[in-house]
Amino acid sequence: MLPLKSSFEDGSSGRASIGERKLSACVTSIELLDGEPVATLGDGRIVFLGQRRTVEAHAGAILCAAPATEESGLLSGGDDGRLRLTRQDGTETLFQGSKWIDAVASRRAGAYAFAHGRVLTIVEATGARRSLQMMGSVHAIVATELGCAVAHRDGVTLVGAVEDAILTEEFLPSVGGHVAISASPDGRFLVTAALDSSLNCWRLSDRAPSKMGGYSAKPNSMAWADGGKWLATSGETRLIVWPMSARGGLGGKAPVMLAPSRSLVSTVACHPSADLIAAGYRDGSVVLARRKVRIVRPVRGPTNDEITALRFDAEGERLIYGSAGGAVGSAHLRNML
Amino acid sequence: MSQLNEAIPAQIPVTLLTGYLGAGKTTLLNRLLTASTGKRYAVIVNEFGEIGIDNDLIVDADEEIIELNNGCVCCSVRGDLVRILGGLMKRPDRFDGILIETTGLADPAPVAQTFFIDEDVRRKTKLDAIVTVVDAMHFLDEVRLAHTMEEQVAFADVIIVNKCDLILPSQLVALDRHIRKLNPYARVHHAERCAIDLREVLDLGSFDLDRILETEPDFLDGDHHHHHDGGIGSLSIGHPGEVDPDKFFPWIQQMIERFGPDILRMKGILALRDDADRFVVQAVHQIVEGIHQRPWKTDESRQSRLVFIGRRLPEELLRDGFQKCCL
């Protein structure tokens, strides 16, 4: 097996080169810290993939992570009840509770929000900390322009941090258990994955809801292409890419379906600028797909080790992936662009 | 089921402990944890009670019942369990099992249904057994007041009648009779302070289905139907031969759709025509699943049996319908 670092330096061969190595536990997310890919693991470790440096951040699994804006740090929440901030030079505990930290999202200028049980805690850049009781245990949070949106039972709560002292709450109902959430980068749509394997959408201009059922599994992984005009999702035996029109929202038009497989897509990621969508499958394979020309290119073959994390780097030159079995690797994309 | 090209990872067995308030669930939990030295369990509890639990990993759940279809209790799951089991699977250290203790007032159906309905949960865990602890001293008084207690007994694969030292032998006979009316198919153990061999509780495998083919003193006359005042009863329908799958599957689907809310549990072992495998079916309310379990052994007689536990079971309809599927 090639060491990861050599693949980061390689890339001159003219085809996607892959270096892969094995980490100590399930890769629960891959984030970028100062441009360097960082993996969070199921055994509480945070691994800086370029330097091969490991920080023991949590006593149990890392359940969620988000880059801390302005801090060049990584926020991580674990089943040890801790929220940690990890930087190049060390790690510190920001919060310690008794419930799991299931979700964290960072907002502009150092503000962030995290969830423990039913409680959502919002921390402003000033350090001011306020907590809200949600109507059910929080499964996921996404930052929005005005605050954050929180997925829980029977819908989503939009939390607005209008001023330092005022929090607003608006409930968007939809029966079922909402377990993953994403907001379009243009601020037009909010989407969730629900326990009944459906995709739920709200058009934020008028809160109009739409719902798309029939997925084979929960479409837990969602990624936006072209600034929010397209939504790629996991949960089917092919990559599903929905056109998100202002008029129709979700389901106004049929989706583009790419890269069929006998295995379910488990993770998706969209390139920051080019027409390139990455899909990872439960069987361990990874592909890159172009939506417009419908070309699919294999990156990694099946290994029976589910892909659990995918991330393009900030320049869009590399795709980094991680698996349930702890495999982590990267592919250069030069010839794909 | 579609043919997906995925290796099936080893499913971690889950044991569900139910029982009314004060029956001794936490005592049983601690007994199991103490007795199973060298094995690692994750324990999911609903609230930390007065009795401490002696285990490295205890997760606090919040019994959040989610209805998947509008207002249908038959399609409800425990959302918190989906989240917690998903989180536990991220840990690298493999558990030998997961023990879930529910609150005394909990309806066991949504928990059981979570293991049938949720795709992620099914893929990584399997419900090994539902174990219900019954307080020998108080059960007969309290069961009149609390619907939940009947359902906990009706759902059980294993029933531990606890605090047997506190009642007279004659009272124990009456108690057993009552429990048998609610659930003739579970294994019943008598215990004091929940002292029981953990092999009777853990790693039983697949809901202990073989039991329904065993002949019990109660069932010498074949088909059986038990009823009692509370409305929960049971029905066993047997056939000493094969059934026609083309008739059986549409029929059982129709029965489950129609009577699902009243059917608490259904289990069955079937000899299907032209099929070398034993086929097993089980249902919790409206959720049915069936699998090819294993080939029939040469010394086994190919026979079929369905057992139902539920309220107001339509006995004649079920019996006649099943007979029409038999060959």
Query: Cβ contact (<8 Å) for B67 and A102?
Result: no
**If you measure CA to CA, which chain B residue comes closest to A63?**
B87
Chain A residue set in contact with B, beta carbons under 8 Å: 24-26, 28, 41-43, 60-63, 79, 98-100, 102, 117-118, 136-137, 139, 153-154, 175-177, 179, 195-197, 216-218, 237, 261-264, 282-283, 302, 304, 326
User: Could you give the 3-state DSSP secondary structure of residue B12?
Assistant: strand
Residue A307 in this model has a pLDDT that exceeds 70: yes
**If you measure CA to CA, which chain B residue comes closest to A179?**
B83
Residue B282 in this model has a pLDDT that exceeds 90: no
Q: Go through B183-211 and write b for each residue having 16 or more CB atoms within 10 A of its CB, e for each that does not.
A: bbbbbbbbbeebebebeebbebebbbbeb
Residues A315-336 have pLDDT tens digits of 999 999 999 999 999 999 877 6
Minimal Cα–Cα distance from B68 to chain A, Å? 5
Mutation to test the B interface, candidates A195, A221, A261, most B Cβ within 10 Å: A195
Of residues A199 and B207, which shows the higher confidence score?
A: A199
Distance CA B98, CA B185 (A): 24
What is the pLDDT at residue A11?
A: 35
Distance CA B43, CA B23 (A): 18
Residues A169-221 have pLDDT tens digits of 999 999 999 999 999 999 999 999 999 999 999 999 999 999 999 999 999 99
Residues B218-227 have pLDDT tens digits of 443 445 555 5
User: Could you give the 3-state DSSP secondary structure of residue B258?
Assistant: helix
What is the pLDDT at residue B220?
A: 34
Distance CA A154, CA A323 (A): 31
Residues B158-205 have pLDDT tens digits of 999 999 999 999 999 999 999 998 998 889 999 999 999 988 888 887
Of residues B243 and A14, which shows the higher confidence score?
A: B243
Residue B4 in this model has a pLDDT that exceeds 50: no
Distances in whole angstroms, Cα of residue B234 to Cα of each of B143, B249, B271, B320: 17, 21, 22, 16
Name every chain B residue with its beta carbon within 8 A of the beta carbon of A63: 87, 90
Residues B93-125 have pLDDT tens digits of 778 999 999 988 888 889 989 998 899 999 999
Distance CA B301, CA B323 (A): 18
Name the percent of chain A lying above pLDDT 70: 92
- Position B63, amino acid: E
Q: Would you state the structure tokens that stand for residue B269, as one six-digit string?
A: 């072992």
What is the pLDDT at residue A15?
A: 38
From first CA to last CA, the distance across chain B in angstroms is 26
Of residues B1 and B147, which shows the higher confidence score?
A: B147
**Correct CATH for A219-336 of 3.40.640.10, 3.30.160.150, 3.40.50.360, 2.130.10.10:** 2.130.10.10
Name every chain B residue with its beta carbon within 8 A of the beta carbon of A176: 66-68
Ordered by where they begin, the domains of chain B are: 12-204 (3.40.50.300), 216-325 (3.30.1220.10)
Q: Would you state the structure tokens that stand for residue A85, as one six-digit string?
A: 């901030």
Query: Residue A83: which of A53, A49, A40 has the closest Cα?
Result: A40
Name every chain A residue with its beta carbon within 8 A of the beta carbon of B95: none
Size of interface A-B (CB pairs under 8 A): 101
Kindly list the domain boundaries of chain A, sorted by start residue.
219-336
**If you measure CA to CA, which chain B residue comes closest to A27?**
B90
Residue B3 in this model has a pLDDT that exceeds 60: no
Q: What ipTM score was computed for the predicted complex, to two decimals?
A: 0.90
Q: Determine how many CB atoms are found less than 10 A away from the CB of residue A3.
A: 11
Contact A94, A106 (CB under 8 A): no
Among candidates B2, B66, B91 on the partner chain, residue whose Cβ is nearest the Cβ of A61: B91
Name the percent of chain B lying above pLDDT 90: 41
Query: Cβ contact (<8 Å) for B79 and A42?
Result: no
Q: H/E/C letters for each residue in chain A?
A: CCCHHHHHHCCCCCCCCEEEEECCCCEEEEEEECCEEEEEECCCEEEECCCCEEEECCCCCEEEEEEECCCCEEEEEECCCEEEEEECCEEEEEEECCCCEEEEEECHHHCEEEEECCEEEEECCCCCEEEEECCCCCCEEEECCCEEEEEEEEEEEEEEEEECCEEEEEEEEEEEEEEEEEECCCCCEEEEEECCCEEEEEECCCCEEEEECCCCCCCCCEEEEHHHCEEEECCCCCEEEEECECCCECCCCCCEEECCCCCCEEEEEECCCCCCEEEEECCCCEEEEECCCCEEEEEECCCCCCEEEEEECCCCCEEEEEECCCEEEEEECHHHC
